[in-house]
Amino acid sequence: MKQKNIVIFDTTLRDGEQCPGASMNLREKLEVARQLARLKVDVIEAGFPVISDGDFEAVRTIAQEIKGPIIAGLARCVEKDIDAAGAAVKPAGKRGRIHVFLATSKIHREFKLGKAKDEIIRLAVVGVKRAKSHVEDVEFSPEDGSRTEPEFLVEVCKAVIAAGATTVNIPDTVGWAVPEQYAALIGHLYESIPAFKSGKAVISVHCHNDLGLAVANSLAAVRAGARQVECTVNGIGERAGNAALEEIVMNLATRADFFEGFHCGINTKEIVKSSRLVSRMSGLVVQRSKAIVGENAFAHSSGIHQDGILKKRETYEIMDPQDVGWGLTELPLTKHSGRAAVAARLKHLGFKLPDKELQEVFTKFKEIGDKKKFVYDDDLTSLVEGKITEVPEVWSLEYIHVTTGNKTVPTATVRLTRKGQKPDEPIQDASIGDGPVDATLKAIDRLTSTKGRLMDYCLRAVSQGKDALGEVTVKVDFGGGNLVTGKGASTDVVEASARAYLNAVNRFLGPDKQGSEKAAQP
């Protein structure tokens, strides 16, 4: 039987990053892109170049540095969007793709665009042709495709393919579709448009999870003729998120009897590592019961289940955890481990650091090693990712002291240094609060003259043991409704909280501000 390859189009860095509070800076995006390349995704949609200087630079840098996958930039059917996308993906050469989109559904035509069908087709064709002047690989998306009249959708698809589009994506933009109807729509397009049957063009699908059907819709579409699936690691994305990459991939692999002949080239052993990296870079915690990558995905508490697993794993596990990257950690390092050992372990974990940053991480490793007996891979990963998530420091933490207890008023004394001042001229203040963390954050507000509203606070143990490194992620509103994410780690949870909050303050005050308003997208 001839294998039918499914192209995995990852939009974690574009649609996934649009999730409120999930914005990543350039260094974070680049690290995620490197991991996506190790995961062997076929296409990385790196961003929306025209939307901000930061997005343009991120797409351009990823196109320049990441080898292997196709690098795509998103654009509306507007000249400045398309030209920006073309310039951003240019360093990728023949691996560059421009993804243009224009709304086609009746509700969007009437209430958002105010345009007739013939004008929609004209604009789509003009947009594709302009994109084609920059790159050979052009993808077109009729936004809100699942709610567009099927026959009009056929007209649009034929027109953009004739104009040069090699991929046509049918997005379920608002998560409205159900598998049977969506599959019927994809099947109708496949049968009605010769270019899809001949392989001249590819049908893609991009499903949102508003009704919890993104993965089901995507897989139904594959069986109906789609040959590209657009998805994100951990299913992150706007509103309820996108189709989860790991669920799409493992459905195809695990149920090969049902998806007979379908294949994708993902390196499944990199799935868990990718999930953890995206979670840490975006600040979005993976729910414990999440399929494939959640901490409970392969946990069995029932005695009956445990007994069955011990006798034969397949009785209650349909996948081998090691196939997706779960497994025992390597032998841990200790404070006696040298720089070469740490560098070798970092290389094994997939991190590439310049000598200066490697030395900084090694110094922090030694500090952690003095506080705990073993330094596990997860501890080391957290230290490196802490370095990656650093932003130019307007304020740096010099000292923190807290007094707390059930019979005393929690008080925090904090000493900070502001960039540009002499190192021996820090400023110090104290505050009380409902607890040691609250008091600490209030003291930081007083010192930095900011007023942040803590919207979310998450503390997790990075590794095992009572001396585990604590990793704190906060989402803070400094006014205006834009959430700023901050991250920090320490064996002391109050210090970790202070570092995470100060990281958010520095992001808010620094030049590399994230979370700018995004335009409507598929």
- DSSP sequence for 443-494: HHHHHHT---EEEEEEEEESSSSTTPPEEEEEEEE-SSS-EEEEEEEESSHH
**Which residues, given as ranges, of the chain have pLDDT below 70?**
1-2, 20-21, 300-314, 316, 328-331, 421-424, 511-521
Query: What is the 3-state composition of the chain as percent helix, strand, coil, each rounded to the nearest 5?
Result: 45, 20, 35
- Helices 214-224 and 179-192 cross at an angle (nearest 10°) of 30
The CA-to-CA distance between both ends of the chain, in Å, stands at 35
Assigned domain for 211 exists: yes
Residue 146: inside a domain: yes
Domain assignment present for residue 503? The answer is yes
What is the CATH classification number for the domain harbouring 419?
A: 3.30.160.270
| CA distances in angstroms from 277 to 128, 215, 248, 268, 293, listed in the order given | 35, 22, 19, 15, 12
Phi/psi at 333 (nearest 5 deg)?
-85, 165
pLDDT reported for residue 334: 85
- Cα-Cα-Cα-Cα dihedral of 412, 418, 422, 425, to 10°? -30
In sequence order, the β-bridge partners of residue 45 are 72
**Distance (Å, rounded) from C-alpha 480 to C-alpha 307?**
55
As for how many domains the chain has, the answer is: 4
The answer on 227 and 85 residing in a single domain is yes
Amino acid at 410: P
Do 384 and 400 share a domain, yes or no? Answer: no
Q: Are residues 314 and 271 in the same domain?
A: no
CA distance 221 to 207: 10
Pair 271, 407 in one domain = no
Q: Is residue 288 part of a domain?
A: no
Cα–Cα separations (whole angstroms), residue 446 to 409, 441, 497: 18, 9, 16
In a domain, residue 519? The reply is no
Q: Is 131 contained in some domain?
A: yes
For residue 336, what pLDDT is reported?
Answer: 85
- Are 75 and 99 in contact, with CB atoms under 8 Å apart? yes
Q: Does residue 343 share a domain with residue 266?
A: no
As given in the structure block, the two tokens for residue 249 are: 């991939």
Contact (CB, 8 A) for 395 and 501: no
Both tokens assigned to 335? 């404070």
- Whether 459 and 491 share a structural domain: yes
Other C-beta atoms lying within 10 Å of the C-beta of residue 22:
22
How far apart are the C-alpha atoms of 211 and 217, rounded to whole Å? 11
Cite the DSSP H helix spans in 229-354.
Answer: 245-254, 271-282, 303-311, 339-349
In sequence order, the 6+-apart residues with CB closer than 8 A to the CB of 433 are 410, 412, 439, 440, 441, 442
Q: What is the CATH number of the domain that holds 190?
A: 3.20.20.70
In a domain, 379, yes or no: yes
Task: Kindly state whether residues 132 and 225 are assigned to the same domain.
Answer: yes
* Measured distance CA(428)–CA(417) in Å, rounded: 9
Range of the domain at 449: 395-509
Q: What is the pTM of this model?
A: 0.85
What type of residue sits at position 469?
A: L
Helices 117-132 and 150-163: crossing angle in degrees, nearest 10, is 30
What is the model's pLDDT at position 197?
Answer: 94
- pLDDT score of 514: 44
Tell whether 358 and 248 lie within a shared domain: no
Within this chain, do residues 220 and 346 fall inside the same structural domain, yes or no?
Answer: no
Classify residue 99: in a domain, yes or no.
Answer: yes
Shared-domain flag, residues 54 and 175 = yes
Angle at 228 between CA 318 and CA 260, to 5 degrees: 40
Structure tokens at 511: 């030049």
Which residue matches tokens 């002047």?
133
Whole-number pLDDT of residue 291: 96
**Are residue 68 and residue 162 in the same domain, yes or no?**
yes
Same domain assignment for residues 353 and 490? no
